[in-house]
Structure 1
């Protein structure tokens, strides 16, 4: 049958969307191996430094950058310990101490503890999972650059003497404009929102990577524990980070716009800050602990020469710890006048969380007890971690008892507990993990003798430094004091604490020197110097840019120990598998079964992540400087960079047809054995990514609505104070927005039926209806007799509807881009993933409005009626 040239081009291009993946071997130095290097290696020099999306380079940068912040936070701590070493010291003024104290907490908790674990996960995940990269390499790079710029943003305030100064939990009203009118708190608020963007982007990447980028046969019961830990905390970040980002944004608005969320004089609620902050901050404790526990669970068995005892129990305890952790934030607020029933409930829940933690402790002890321990440096760190975990856990259970917590709140006992949990349970696994995976990082081994000297210095210094803090707290020493008088009974314990802190600092410095020396002069490492069981040890040291020449197929939990363990089921195949070398390609699997699902086209190195991170940071600088014009320019630059990032590469008619031999093979695309190529429908990684993004956006609106109802429940004034909302206008705008969602869905269906003209028409109708919703909302805002600064209700109403309006505008931009791309012929019934992704986001925006309409319009009428 004859066809027109246009139809012929379209047919060939559609066929190219499926391919039968080759299976075979790749020998070292072969043409296929050289081709993989050419495809995947980053360009050398400064261009490659800024444009790389290699997960291994990004992971190492995370670790190094976080370690620099660890050293900065340590220097801040040592200066404070000099101030507190003896009574009545005057080394620091109260303001200087407040800034040091705050930046020390911010640095250690937000700029070191999680980023260093993200570095481990970024480097190790694809190697452990048998993949070539993370699901979203450019998002991975963006997450790092935003993190770096957020750290620079926060630290640039130090030389100016305007660093954050209200403590790392930043309680209002101390941090409100009435009591703190400098830029200090604005720096903290905006820096934390910027850092939250980095954390959220990284969490989305980890979640989708786990579901889509595993080796064939890598079922959930074969995942390394560090993967369980990072996956758990990534889900937690999607739900928790919006709480603190919202809290800081509301505080910034109180200070700079004139809203009244926390303003007591205008019926604001300071306790709302504590609820939002601790809804985030208590899960965050486990965020900086669970991946570290995963490091120990995966690396400790290597030195015990046996698998981890109770793998399933440890994996489930990881998930259970985080779930319970979300429910116990109020134990940080036991002294705020909480009702007795709530005290009993949250006190019991706080004790309950010790059960899953104990499961992991017993598993580690049993692994050591039943194994044949090898006392190498990593084992020393991992073994001592178990002790630190027990000490920190026991002191935590003590503070879960309400009467005891009332006595210990805001004393140095809590400071001691916090350091054992956030440093002891984090730093020891990190130092051990760096030593353990150093061969994969650098291709060399760290010096063993020097490493043991550094370990014992760290171990002794840590316990000498932080254990006496328990005694200081029991003797009544309050936290956050910059000096103290003689005769209080705190002199000796503080002096010992200061000595131990300096010893700990020396130990960390010795470790850093060992790492730097070994990276250049250390002994060359073989592929598997520790005889480890995981997939990462099947690669060279260091691994090539493409990780695996052929993608492995996993048959057990310990692929490299199969000859000695003889696991049930099939054996792993590591030297033969899928050959994906027609460009940057990776294998996508089905989220549940782990079976091959799609051949993913991975992005090349790009400038866009760096520039998007830079422009986002400049936008926050403009907000700090109160420069609307500068902020608008930076926001426009962010938008232009994002559009350039997302713009499709070629239209359908411009694609090069496949080679004849490839076309002949692909003509059997509907037969078994072929896989879709690239982003096609639900096979698209972006489709899964937008679902993860929706989770965190839904959490943001959930916290906003929580703030609305919490404020309503605490006020004695009429709600709303200016009369009931106009349900008719709200219902009309709701109907318009829902109708636009219907037309967006019709556009997608028309495109899947190859009716491009109709798809474009429906999309234009959806855009027009969205613009009509914006017009109705603007008219309603104009008609209100109050504004966002009039009273608490006005602040809440305009913020909730304003946040939603921002999402509507972003959605309209997305729909407009999709309409342009439809008109240019970028999509057809095979390639429609962006249409589906954009549609899912638009439907989410519409569903959120339903909840807002019920909360702001229907609920007040119902309450007045009752």
Structure 2
């Protein structure tokens, strides 16, 4: 088969649908990555307009431009859009577009999950944009501290848009994180070991793991606060055994790792682009990976950094202050490695390098002011002033937006196939960087003079007038610069002349394909034994196009790619990916109705939407797998591999493993909240706590039949026998766990009575949901066995269900133990 015929055959298999249906049915990672980035840029523009409204308001004292109510909505939505609807989705979009290309694979691990996450992001963001347009946007700050955000401080619907909309959006983040982790671990070019991965893949892996462990505390906090607002469960009400500081702990358990979740992808961009611009290799690859991993771990020990003024014990102040300064060390390792890379190379001052130099000048200042606010006495003085606002923007704009602009100019030729022709970018660069520093250096100054943040006006005569005017002028100059960046990108993408395939002479795999990228990425999957394959073998693109690698022939109309061993990169099995479908958008639409019912308090819609989600989920997984054993398949180069349906650890098993990691983090956060309230809240536990009942404990002990039954079913399947006994035993165990949770709820007072009762209600609700889902999964395994999807060779699905049932049983028993613990101790 000639290269042209191979290209046409693969395009026919992998291409998205034509016309308007393409954007609603595509599961192609290139399409979805670009869609993510475009929507995130839209949110960035909206947030930028809101920022200009803020600067217009603060340009003069006693301004009548906006009233307090409107101002509160504007600054809340500005922070919300930037943090939740721009920064993380931009990372997701860039990574979804780039990762398979960098790794030498054809697509991500779960293409339909990527599409589902995108549409959840769109629908959740639409809720917040609608609220902004309708004048009912959240107005309690992007941090939503109660009691300001509870019904005591905000009785209207405004905070509900934040709590429900952001929770909906974070489904997208969790989906993308699972996708990224499994893709990095299992979907790489043959022979690409972990040590030979592109540096950006390491950053993406660490960031995705941080999302899986950092976002669940905020999701839990949002659920608890919404339950308090909607149903009166008093998690944050002191009079009923709650504490408003619980929200701050849950929020900043997410919020401080969030800063590094934003920074690390930008650092990955810099580590990728900088050596190319310097015409050299990256200095200290191993040290940079270790520093990034250290940041990922250390960032979870800093959340109280944001709570120094809440009256916490001095020992905690000392510990978290030391931890906050320690985190500067791995950051400095990366910065010095980048400086060393520039020093040993021959830098060429293209647009990507300009933005990276702007990053250096900006982020270092933000890091130094971060060390300043890590010192407790200084933080007590600067807290809640504009100094903190300036520090935040130096870290987030300097540490994320500027590197993303470098990425935009670096990979734009890859996306469009055109080279930069018009030169608006240089003018835009100077307007943005100078405008930014004028705006936020002035803001540091006025913060040190005492101006408070989150206030809509100030009185004259305090020495702030001229500084605020200068800051506002700088802000509008910066806004003009960003507008020119967009004009420059659009013009160069639309009318610039065609460019060569690899204009930067880079060595990574994404430049080994035609540009714009074909739907299938690579005509064949070539073995890789270098971090820069194009520099090691300049003939690689031609050899791939000729089909000299694995899967070099289009066959059976199937989207084929390879899964490899985690550490060695050795090909392990053949994967068949799903084609275009409307199922992800349908699933996201029905999921949206679930959240919409909660938002508008039409609660009968919630169970209907839940039933719809269950039905679509069953439909989603029913078409997976095969009804017959196929045996090893020829994949090229004399190698035969088993199909994905006949391996013990299919991608779904890994996806479930990391999804349960996020789930376990949420459950652990719930137990943390339980322990926190028990420790600090008054009247805990209440006089009528849950007493241990021998009958209840006996029923709960029967829950262990669930994991036991699944193991018996696996053994029976391996021997070619029926699954009825094992699955029946598993179902009995799950029913026992459900019954135990139900009996606890019957013994409890109303959850509005006390925070202990409310917490136990949530724990039991958590158990009911997970055991109920486990029961559905067990029933589905029985149906799939009857339909012929399971056999002694095809038992990976049963291992996936086993993971869920093991987890559901363990958390049910831990929940019951937490419910009866006060009674046991008494």
Same fold (TM over 0.5): yes
The change in CA–CA distance for 1:37 and 1:863 in structure 2 (over 3 A counts) is same
Which residue of the other structure, out of 284, 308, 325, is the alignment partner of 1:310? Answer: 284
Equivalent position SS for 2:550: strand
What SS is found at the alignment partner of 2:526? strand
Alpha-carbon offset, residue 27 of structure 1: 4.2
Q: Specify the alignment match of 1:620 in structure 2.
A: 595
Match of 1:853 in 2: 816
Structure 1 pair 767–332 and aligned structure 2 pair: CA distance change class (3 A): same
Indicate the residue corresponding to 1:801 in structure 2.
Answer: 764
Q: Could you tell me which of 482, 496, 500 is aligned with 2:456? A: 482
How far off is 1:683 after superposition?
Answer: 3.6
Distance 1:578 1:718 in 2: 63
* Residues 1:710 and 2:676 aligned together: yes
Alpha-carbon distance between aligned partners in 2 of 1:387 and 1:217, rounded to the nearest angstrom: 39
Distance 2:112 2:93 in 1: 15
Query: What is the distance in 1 between the residues matched to 2:3 and 2:431?
Result: 43
Q: Is the 8 A contact 1:461 1:501 kept in 2?
A: yes
Matched, 1:584 2:559: yes
- Taking the aligned partners of 1:608 and 1:438, their CA distance within structure 2 comes to 31
**C-alpha distance after superposition, 1:779-811 (max 9, x if no partner):** 332233x12111111001111111111111111
Report the counterpart of residue 610 of structure 1 in structure 2. 585
Give the superposition deviation at 1:730: 4.0
The equivalent position to 1:732 in structure 2, one of 698, 722, 728, is 698
The residue number in structure 2 matching 1:145 is: 119
In the other structure, the counterpart of 2:59 is: 85
Match of 1:44 in 2: 18
State the match for 1:184 in structure 2. Answer: 158
Distance 1:448 1:310 in 2: 36
Q: Is the 8 A contact 1:648 1:826 kept in 2?
A: no
Deviation at 1:556, TM superposition (A): 1.2
Where do residues 287-686 of structure 1 align in structure 2 (5 Å cutoff)? Answer: 287-447=261-421, 449-562=423-536, 576-579=548-551, 581-582=554-555, 583-648=558-623, 652=627, 673-686=639-652
Assess if the C-alpha contact under 8 Å between 2:512 and 2:541 holds in 1: no
**Residues of 1 paired with 2:104 and 2:684: CA distance?**
60
* Contact 1:553/1:573, CA 8 A, preserved across alignment: no
Conservation of the 8 A alpha-carbon contact between 2:422 and 2:488 = no
Name the structure 1 match of 2:724.
760
1:438-488 Cα deviation digits (max 9, x unpaired): 011111123352111111111111111111110011000110010011011
Shift of 1:735: 1.7
Q: Is the 8 A contact 1:539 1:547 kept in 2?
A: yes
The CA deviation at 1:716 is: 4.1
Q: Among 747, 765, 780, which residue is 1:783 paired with?
A: 747
Counterpart Cα distance in 1 of 2:360 and 2:75 = 28
CA distance in 2, matches of 1:571, 1:431: 28
1:826-837 map, 5 Å: 826-837=789-800
* 1:567 matched residue in structure 2: none
**Conserved in 2, the CA contact under 8 Å of 1:556 and 1:572?**
no
Whether the aligned pair in 2 keeps the contact of 1:738 and 1:846 (CA below 8 Å) is: yes
- Structure 2, unmatched stretches of 5+, are none
Q: Could you tell me which of 110, 116, 124 is aligned with 1:136? A: 110
Looking at structure 1, the residues matched to 254 and 400 of structure 2 have their Cα atoms a distance apart, in angstroms, of: 19
- Does the residue aligned with 2:246 lie in a helix, a strand or coil? helix
**Distance verdict in 2 for CA 1:651–1:584, change over 3 Å:** closer
Contact 1:462 1:501 in 2 (8 A): yes
Aligned-partner Cα distance in 2 for 1:226–1:456: 28
Instruction: Confirm whether residue 211 of structure 1 aligns to residue 188 of structure 2.
Output: no
Out of 245, 254, 258, the position equivalent to 2:228 is 254
- Conservation of the 8 A alpha-carbon contact between 2:28 and 2:519: yes
Q: Calculate the aligned-residue CA RMSD, in Å.
A: 2.1
* 1:651 Cα deviation from its structure 2 partner: 6.5
* Distance in 2 of aligned mates of 1:334 and 1:257: 32
Partner SS, residue 410 of structure 1: coil
Q: Residue 718 and residue 471 in structure 1: after superposition, are their counterparts in 2 closer, same or farther (change >3 A)? A: closer
**1:3-18 superposed matches below 5 A:** none
Alpha carbons of 1:398 and 1:718: their partners in 2 closer, same or farther (altered >3 Å)? Answer: closer
**8 Å Cα contact 1:553/1:574 also seen in 2:** no
Q: 2:172 aligns with which of 198, 220, 223?
A: 198
CA–CA separation in structure 2 for the residues paired with 1:489 and 1:862: 62
Partners of 2:695 and 2:95 in 1: CA distance:
49
Where 1:156 maps in the other structure, the secondary structure is helix
User: For the residues of structure 2 that align with 1:107 and 1:729, how far apart are their CA atoms?
Assistant: 51
1:8 corresponding residue in structure 2: none
Q: 1:173 aligns with which of 141, 144, 147?
A: 147
Q: TM-score, normalised by structure 1?
A: 0.92
Secondary structure, aligned partner of 2:132? coil
The whole-number CA distance in structure 2 between the counterparts of 1:307 and 1:237 is 29
Question: Could you tell me which residue of structure 2 aligns to residue 746 of structure 1?
Answer: 712
Alignment partners' CA distance in 2, 1:176 and 1:651: 51
- Give 1:563 deviation, angstroms: 6.5
User: Contact between 2:16 and 2:28, CA under 8 Å: does it hold in 1?
Assistant: yes
Distance 1:451 1:707 in 2: 49
1:699 matches 2:665? yes
Aligned-residue offset at 1:158:
1.6
Aligned counterpart, 2:205: 231
Asked if structure 2 preserves the Cα contact closer than 8 Å seen for 1:267 and 1:792, the reply is yes
Report if the CA contact (8 A) 2:256-2:299 is conserved: yes
* Whole-angstrom distance in 2 between the partners of 1:572 and 1:266: 70
Mean CA deviation greater in 511-520 or 766-775: 766-775
The count of aligned residue pairs is 820
For CA contacts below 8 A with separation 6 or more, give which structure has more relative contact order: 1
Q: 1:136 to 1:649 in 2, by over 3 A?
A: closer
| Structure 1 runs not aligned, ≥5 long | 1-25, 565-569
CA contact under 8 A between 2:696 and 2:743: conserved in structure 1? Answer: no
Secondary structure, in 3 states, of the residue corresponding to 1:159? Answer: helix
Q: In structure 2, what is the Cα distance between the partners aligned to 1:812 and 1:802?
A: 15
Relative to 1, partners in 2 of residues 1:279 and 1:573: Cα closer, same or farther, differing over 3 Å?
farther
Report the equivalent of 2:825.
863
Distance, in Å, in 2 between the alignment partners of 1:288 and 1:111 is 12
CA contact (8 A) 1:730 1:853 kept: no
Give, in angstroms, the shift of residue 623 of structure 1.
0.7
TM-score normalised by L of structure 2: 0.96
Q: 3-state SS of the aligned residue for 1:689?
A: helix
Superposition deviation, residue 250 in structure 1: 0.3
How much has 1:48 moved relative to structure 2? 1.7
